Amino acid sequence: MDKKTRVENVLRYHERTKHQPNRFARGPGHLDWANEPYPFRVFEGADLFRLPFLAKDPSAGFLSLFDRSETNPLPLTLDHIASMFELSMGLSAWKSFGGNSWALRMNPSSGNLHPTEAYLILPPTDTRPDYGGIFHYNPYVHGLEKRSSFDGELWQRIRDHVGIDGFLIGLSSIHWREAWKYGERAFRYCNHDVGHAIACLSFSAGIHGWRVAWLSPLADNDIGTLLGFDRTSWHAFEREYPDLLLLVHSSGETPKNLDLPPEIVRSFSSLPFEGLPNRLSEGHADWKIIEEVAFAAEKPRTAVMECMFGNDEYAIMKATMSGATIIRRRRSAQAYDREAAMNRDAFFSILDKTVPRQGCAPFDAGLGDVAVHLAIFVHRVADLQQGLYFLCRDTSGVLNIKKCFRSGFLWERVKAAPESLALFLLEPGDYREIAAAASCYQEIAGDSAFSLGMIATFRENIENAPWGYRRLFWETGMIGQVLYLGAEAMGLQGTGIGCYLDDMVHRLLGITDDSYQSLYHFTIGRPLEDKRVTTLPPYHHLTPRNQK
Ligand SMILES: Cc1cc2nc3c(=O)[nH]c(=O)nc-3n(C[C@H](O)[C@H](O)[C@H](O)COP(=O)(O)O)c2cc1C
């Protein structure tokens, strides 16, 4: 497929999967509970290694999630890799209500359906000095399923190429998991979730004194080869699509290269892979357009993504909880206290973390330049007037944004905000009803202290690279994760909102074409707890020896 057709297909998918007030994107209409996808991928027949649980959480503070100032790099041992995964892709709790129970994870997911799977490519270890391996991370048991092994010589070639010690993480998406509930719009949600997962891994790496770096030049096909997807017998409709590969390394070191040469990738193509993927559902609906957009947005080999950010210090309120505690506590609020106002410094503090800094998590994962800004509905922030605000996460684009937005906006810089926050008041007013309506009439967007739409530079990015469609959603998911943790750190809670009325937001901002598009919503405030729901520890279902 040529690039022009790919661009057209991606743009068509995006347009077609917009929710409109009188027409939601095509979905299943009702939930087919008999075929609800099983939330855990298991490779049946693959050897399973249970990972140890943390005896005690790292004490590094909230800021260490971002700037790693308090953390010395830990050795890259299997125990520490285990704790990195426990605090990023592991279970966070079980909930039960009305005879049903369901697991929650450190990484959030639209509809709690968890389309994102994680793989590890590990170097030879002390116990297996001759062989490295390719593993699937199984969060249900906090274990690694061994899919393949390779000799130490192959790992040495990778090590020589990147120039430093480390290991690799691969992420993939099972589109069916989301399509079961959300139909055609599911491709968007899968990519949001990938963004959340990247940020989760980046933060968890951060509290180990490590960094995750995207090996951005790799093609999806390369990742499929490395992870053995081309040698896996997927069940129909349940195939996994490769998303990206991350190099994890000590944060003080700089990789010599951020790719893997084709000859190294080819060396993986002859490895045998163990294990059969479990069946997730008996029956499936065929959402053809997802297959089409996935094909149109497939990533080829590219140059490395460059990004240079500022160096401003993180200002404003300090959190008292440790980074790990905040990660474990993170939950989506189901309802908000519509009387509760939040503190203005806490508001600035949360937003401040969404602005990338050089060498700071999670945006130093290397997804390239900022493409996403925030249109914010301030409902209840003490000492800040209600209204519609705009945060430019990178000020170089302000002039163009102003040109494309409604002409009557004030664009008045919020003087009380720290220097690092290019926050503008566009229009004062009570936006509670409008914000809720724009988020598919969900009250959580109007009852909170503030909610927002993530506005991406759109057509230009898609025309430049159709696969960039996915990358835009990754960036929004990463911002979402920053907001989730920022909210928890300030004693509040956030909720990602994938259900929103796209063009209602565009009309509100005066955007008349697809130069900019709203790609994700988010809301933050004081949560109301549903006391009917019982919470259980994350690994209570395991045998005592392996319990957390
Ligand atoms: C991409 C994304 C979209 C979401 N969209 C909505 C939404 O539209 N409405 C809502 O109430 N919750 C939404 N959520 C919250 C999820 O339902 C929640 O993350 C999931 O149930 C897991 O719960 P937890 O976040 O507490 O772990 C969304 C979450 C994500 C990551």
pLDDT tens digit sequence for 124-173: 976 677 778 999 999 999 999 999 999 999 999 999 999 999 999 999 99
Whether residue 481 has its Cβ less than 6 Å from ligand 1: no
Whether residue 498 has its Cβ less than 6 Å from ligand 1: yes
**Which stretch of DSSP H or E encloses residue 329?**
helix 323-329
- The pLDDT value given to residue 320: 87
- In single-letter form, the type of residue at position 247 comes to L
CA-closest candidate to residue 260, choices 230, 289, 295, 301: 301
Mutation pick for ligand 1 pocket among 185, 495, 520, 533 (CB with most ligand atoms within 8 Å): 495
- CA dist 460 and 536 (Å) reads 47
Mutation pick for ligand 1 pocket among 91, 332, 454 (CB with most ligand atoms within 8 Å): 332
- DSSP state at residue 479: H
Report the nearest-CA residue for atom 10 of ligand 1: 497
Mutation pick for ligand 1 pocket among 110, 112, 473, 481 (CB with most ligand atoms within 8 Å): 110
Token duo for residue 380:
């209840």
- The pLDDT value given to residue 313: 85
pLDDT-based confidence at residue 293 (cuts at 50, 70, 90): very high
Across 155-159, 316-320, 337-341, least confident range: 316-320
If you search the block for the tokens 């140890």, which residue do you land on?
52
**414, pLDDT greater than 80:** yes
pLDDT tens profile 185-200: 999 999 999 999 999 9
Whether residue 521 has its Cβ less than 6 Å from ligand 1: no
Whether residue 196 has its Cβ less than 6 Å from ligand 1: yes
Whether residue 19 has its Cβ less than 6 Å from ligand 1: no
pLDDT-based confidence at residue 505 (cuts at 50, 70, 90): very high
**528, pLDDT greater than 60:** yes
Report the nearest-CA residue for atom 8 of ligand 1: 497
Whether residue 495 has its Cβ less than 6 Å from ligand 1: yes
- The pLDDT value given to residue 370: 97
Determine the average pLDDT of the residues in 437-455.
Answer: 98
If you search the block for the tokens 């426990």, which residue do you land on?
86
**Pair 223, 170: CB distance under 8 Å:** yes
- The pLDDT value given to residue 12: 98
Token duo for residue 330:
């993170």
**546, pLDDT greater than 70:** no
Whether residue 443 has its Cβ less than 6 Å from ligand 1: no
If you search the block for the tokens 């997911």, which residue do you land on?
109
- The pLDDT value given to residue 548: 52
- CA dist 517 and 513 (Å) reads 9
Whether residue 84 has its Cβ less than 6 Å from ligand 1: no
Whether residue 442 has its Cβ less than 6 Å from ligand 1: yes
- The pLDDT value given to residue 342: 97
pLDDT-based confidence at residue 384 (cuts at 50, 70, 90): very high
Residues 6+ apart with CB under 8 A from 66: 203, 206, 314, 353, 357, 360, 361
- CA dist 17 and 27 (Å) reads 10
**Pair 241, 117: CB distance under 8 Å:** no
Q: What percent of the chain has pLDDT over 70?
A: 98
CA 494 – ligand 1 centroid, Å = 9
- The pLDDT value given to residue 307: 86
- CA dist 106 and 207 (Å) reads 15
Report the nearest-CA residue for atom 11 of ligand 1: 334
DSSP string, 220-233: HHHHHHHTTGGGS-
CA 99 – ligand 1 centroid, Å = 22
pLDDT-based confidence at residue 11 (cuts at 50, 70, 90): very high
Instruction: For the chain, give percent helix, strand, coil, nearest 5.
Output: 35, 25, 45
CA 483 – ligand 1 centroid, Å = 13
**Pair 227, 273: CB distance under 8 Å:** no
Average pLDDT of the chain to the nearest whole number: 95
pLDDT-based confidence at residue 545 (cuts at 50, 70, 90): low
CA 108 – ligand 1 centroid, Å = 6
For residue 262, cis peptide bond before it (omega within 30 degrees of 0): no
CA 360 – ligand 1 centroid, Å = 26
Whether residue 189 has its Cβ less than 6 Å from ligand 1: yes
CA-closest candidate to residue 500, choices 175, 193, 188: 188
Q: What percent of the chain has pLDDT over 90?
A: 92
- CA dist 346 and 524 (Å) reads 11
- CA dist 433 and 504 (Å) reads 13
Whether residue 331 has its Cβ less than 6 Å from ligand 1: yes
Token duo for residue 207:
């509290």
CA 527 – ligand 1 centroid, Å = 14
CA 505 – ligand 1 centroid, Å = 20
CA 525 – ligand 1 centroid, Å = 15
Whether residue 115 has its Cβ less than 6 Å from ligand 1: no
pLDDT tens profile 86-114: 999 999 999 999 999 999 999 999 999 99
Residues 6+ apart with CB under 8 A from 312: 355, 357, 418, 419, 420
- CA dist 470 and 476 (Å) reads 10
pLDDT tens profile 70-83: 778 999 999 999 99
Whether residue 39 has its Cβ less than 6 Å from ligand 1: no
Whether residue 114 has its Cβ less than 6 Å from ligand 1: no
CA 220 – ligand 1 centroid, Å = 27
Determine the average pLDDT of the residues in 385-400.
Answer: 95
Report the nearest-CA residue for atom 17 of ligand 1: 111
Residue 445's CB is within 10 A of a number of other CB atoms, namely: 32
- CA dist 320 and 161 (Å) reads 41
Q: Name the phi and psi angles at 64, rounded to 5.
A: -65, -20
CA 273 – ligand 1 centroid, Å = 34
**34, pLDDT greater than 80:** yes
Token duo for residue 439:
């988020």
How far CA 478 is from CA of 75, 196, 471, in Å, comes to 26, 5, 10
Atom of ligand 1 nearest to the CA of 477: 1
CA 306 – ligand 1 centroid, Å = 31
How far CA 230 is from CA of 211, 234, 304, 528, in Å, comes to 29, 9, 25, 46
Atom of ligand 1 nearest to the CA of 440: 8
**294, pLDDT greater than 90:** yes
pLDDT-based confidence at residue 277 (cuts at 50, 70, 90): very high
CA 285 – ligand 1 centroid, Å = 23
